[in-house]
Chains A and B, each alone.
Chain A
């Protein structure tokens, strides 16, 4: 299937989903759907570097938080431009600020992508393990900076007040939901496109044998940097609308370890070799998490996620997609 057609089909499914939710007319569905879709984007973002190139990123929470805090930064500028800009710039700035949410999402993606580029350049020339450890460190360094940066709220946190209603969509949560839906469609289409392009083949050579790839003339460092930037930018874009969703952000919630764990667990449980795996993993796992959080407790939900991650990497290394292929292959044989 060609990419434009595939994207159209995804968009049709997305539109059908949105209309169905509107017909049901319960705002809680949109709140729930937003979280699930956010995890679809996060899992896909992780998989571009982790699944396609084989480089583990433990710092997903850090990249996500870059998006979150870029939004808060620009939101705070929009709240009090007279503190930031000199007198003569106030008039043009009043015209620019407050920035609309889609612009904030793009900005979040740009910043997270740039940080990914910088960190990738420092560590990707080494063995993959060092990159993984450095990403762990990155999240903590960023958190330290945010805690000490009072303009974005520091450790006290920051409030973001979403508008009451939005034209066309009605309530603000519906607007957020549609944005996240489009972002999920875009990231799935991008992941599928990468998978089938020369870029994806290059990524696969890195995953399978980096030394051999390098020897055959694959520009491994360049490809790894591209993957890191793409993946980082998607994380940032997933994080950018989050302050508007939650209303109040403090470093602990933006850098929450559960993002890092889910970002790894979802692709691993779904299957890392294609775009379907992270999507399936994210849909199943985050729906399950929502149910468990509501019915039992959020600690139990995290425990289940961790146990599922361990169980799948030991017993089903190729995830649910791998199990499915295995099952269909056996059925067609008999």
Chain B
């Protein structure tokens, strides 16, 4: 019985981890590669959840399809935010203190805006697979976890391919290492950073849809993901997408085991404890440079 419990905790943790990977992918690009500490990222994920919720409630379209349709909108939003950030902070060389305050303000305004528009009730979506599950012997795969996990892994693989195979993807890697050298290759680092930041923002649409499929969402749900995403990003090693995936799966499994055996109220402390430990012991992370 105990063994069954453990197996299922690990399976649930792996699916949760795959979802965390989607949530962290954007941070891994913006914070890990571009050095832009976008702490508003979880706020935009919740925005993605609410967009999926509105369209789903109005037209009954599947939230993940809504997210794919919303990708260009979030991409444009990312370009806008980066434009403001670049003009106001990065160009003036004031990106540390005031840039952080700027994103913190954005996070807060997004959350309060959603509260004003939708109130503080839990919102959820209706899809054909939310209630179902696949059973394999003692193992159980609830579909509301499995579907987001699989799409999330697909998205992650696509991102990794883009980053390692295309010219722009490689330029993003380069801009994080040496923007001046990039300029010498006649590539505009600002343009590359804008593209990368917009991509990071676009992942919010997907992650938001996954989130609202997995669990009902509140405007303040984003907060519990702030520490988690940074924990995963730092643990995986800044700027390393494979590291992010490994760390996400690891934290998903540990959290799931902690929830199963010690109760859900301890789960948030797991990732934060790991974050503090990583920062103290090995700040370069698992696969850091």
Contact = CB atoms under 8 A, between A and B. Distances in A.
Nearest to A300: B116
Interface string A291-334: 00000000110110111011001100100000000000000000
A94 interface: no
Given A128-B96, A299-B115, A306-B112, A313 B269 contact: no
Contacts of A145: 269
A136 interface: yes
Does more than half of chain B's interface fall in helix, strand or loop, or is it mixed? helix
A141 B234 contact: no
A313 B39 contact: no
Contacts of B234: 130, 133
Nearest to A272: B97
B276 A137 contact: yes
Contact of B230 (A133, A147, A155): A133
Nearest to B87: A314
Nearest to B97: A54
Contacts of B112: 299, 302-303, 306
Contacts of B269: 140-141, 144-145
Contacts of B280: 122-123
Interface string A237-277: 00000000000000000000100010011001000100000
Interface residues of A, number: 43
Given A56-B97, A299-B115, A133 B275 contact: yes
Contact of B279 (A54, A134, A313): A134
Contacts of B123: none
Interface stretch (B7-15, B67-75, B99-107): B99-107
Interface string B101-121: 110111011001101100000
A136 B230 contact: yes
A129 B280 CA distance: 14
Nearest to B98: A313
Interface stretch (B52-60, B137-145, B220-228): B220-228
A206 to B, nearest CB: 12
Contacts, number: 121
Interface string A123-165: 1001011101110111011011101100000010000000000
Contacts of B105: 261, 265, 306-307, 309-310, 313
A313 to B, nearest CB: 5
A300 B116 CA distance: 8
Contacts of A317: 92, 94, 98
Contact of A123 (B104, B273, B279): B279
A137 B101 contact: no
A137 B276 CA distance: 8
A213 to B, nearest CB: 15
Contacts of B283: 126, 130
B176 interface: no
Nearest to B110: A306
Contacts of B94: 317
Contact of B101 (A126, A144, A309): A309
Contacts of A133: 37, 39, 227, 230, 234, 275
B265 A141 contact: no
B268 interface: yes
A50 interface: yes
B80 interface: no
A56 B223 contact: no
Interface string B266-277: 101100110110
Contacts of B224: 140
B101 A264 contact: yes
B248 interface: no
A257 B226 contact: no
Interface of B: 37, 39, 84, 88-89, 92, 94, 96-98, 100-102, 104-106, 108-109, 112-113, 115-116, 220, 223-224, 226-227, 230-231, 234, 265-266, 268-269, 272-273, 275-276, 279-280, 283
21 contacts: A54-B96, A54-B97, A56-B97, A123-B276, A126-B283, A133-B234, A134-B275, A134-B276, A136-B226, A137-B275, A140-B269, A141-B269, A144-B265, A257-B108, A257-B223, A303-B112, A306-B106, A313-B88, A313-B89, A313-B105, A314-B88
The 6 closest A-B pairs by CB, nearest first: A306-B109, A309-B105, A310-B105, A137-B272, A144-B269, A306-B108
Given A126-B279, A299-B116, 19 more contacts: A50-B97, A56-B97, A58-B39, A122-B279, A123-B276, A123-B279, A128-B96, A136-B39, A137-B276, A140-B269, A144-B269, A148-B265, A155-B265, A265-B101, A265-B105, A272-B97, A307-B105, A309-B108, A314-B84
